[in-house]
Amino acid sequence: MKKTIKIIAEILLAAVAVLLVILIYRSVMEPVNFNKEKDAREAVAVQRLKDIRTLEVAFKSVNNHYTASIDSLKEFYLNGKMKVVMQLGSQDDSIAVANTARIKKQNKRITPEQLYAMYLAGENVVLSLATDLAVKDTLFNHREDFHLDSLAFIPFSGDSVLMESVVKKVSGVDVPLFEAKMPYKSLLKGMDHQLIVNLNADREKQNRYEGLQVGSVSAPNNNAGNWE
């Protein structure tokens, strides 16, 4: 009887030891796996915020202000036009530069379009030519991973990207500003709740936004992302 009890006790101790090993392993691996998944989600989110920034900068170049509306950015992408400056010829080509200067001296009213016609005819000239191009033919046209309809949403959650735009006085000058945000509570939705709480608490202690953000309506920051 005593022998049986001893065997049972040894089995129970072994089971407890195995359980403790499993619990320790999980406690070690949970934050590791959390950070791995967090990094993967952030990579997708960062690219989306970069795309929003690219569209915002292009939108401002045409409209002189940013927008807080993803729909406006989508409309701008689909139907808008923007000026693109083409550099034709090389400033390092001294012969072309000298020839261009001679032509301009002979005809001070010559237009870039006329110089362009000469360039197409084989004249060795250097010029910059501004032309209107469709936004959709200019931006992201070689990006297979760019999906316009996804732009408004935070990856892995379906929640909306938080957008804001303002015009703020900075040293007496009106400065357009924008920001786009993806809070961790949305971006990391479905992941370990306590680890998300801990992450947000750490960010708050460091006076950093609890998520990913590009641009700022508080102060000019050159449209930087908080991951850069």
In this prediction, residue 83 has a pLDDT band, given cuts at 50, 70 and 90, of confident
16-37: b (≥16 Cβ within 10 Å) or e? eeeeeeeeeeeeeeeeeebeee
Alpha-carbon gap, residue 176 to 66, rounded angstroms: 6
In this prediction, residue 44 has a pLDDT band, given cuts at 50, 70 and 90, of very high
Residue 119 CA, chain-centre distance (Å), reads 38
In this prediction, residue 142 has a pLDDT band, given cuts at 50, 70 and 90, of confident
Over residues 163-220, the pLDDT tens digits come to: 999 999 888 899 999 999 999 999 999 999 999 999 999 999 999 999 999 999 998 9
Q: How many Cα atoms occupy the beta-carbon half-sphere of 34 within 13 Å?
A: 19
In this prediction, residue 9 has a pLDDT band, given cuts at 50, 70 and 90, of low
- Region 32-46: mean pLDDT is 94
- Region 8-14: mean pLDDT is 65
The answer to whether 153 touches 38, Cβ cutoff 8 Å, is no
> Residue 185's CB: how many other CB atoms inside 10 A?
17
Q: How many residues does the chain have?
A: 228
The answer to whether 175 touches 168, Cβ cutoff 8 Å, is yes
Stronger pLDDT, 16 or 113, i.e. the higher one: 113
Structure tokens that stand for 135 in this block: 């936004």
What is the reported pTM?
Answer: 0.77
Nearest CA-CA partner of 34 in 195, 186, 197: 195
The answer to whether 165 touches 178, Cβ cutoff 8 Å, is yes
Alpha-carbon gap, residue 117 to 212, rounded angstroms: 48
Structure tokens that stand for 185 in this block: 């509570």
Nearest CA-CA partner of 85 in 112, 107, 119: 112
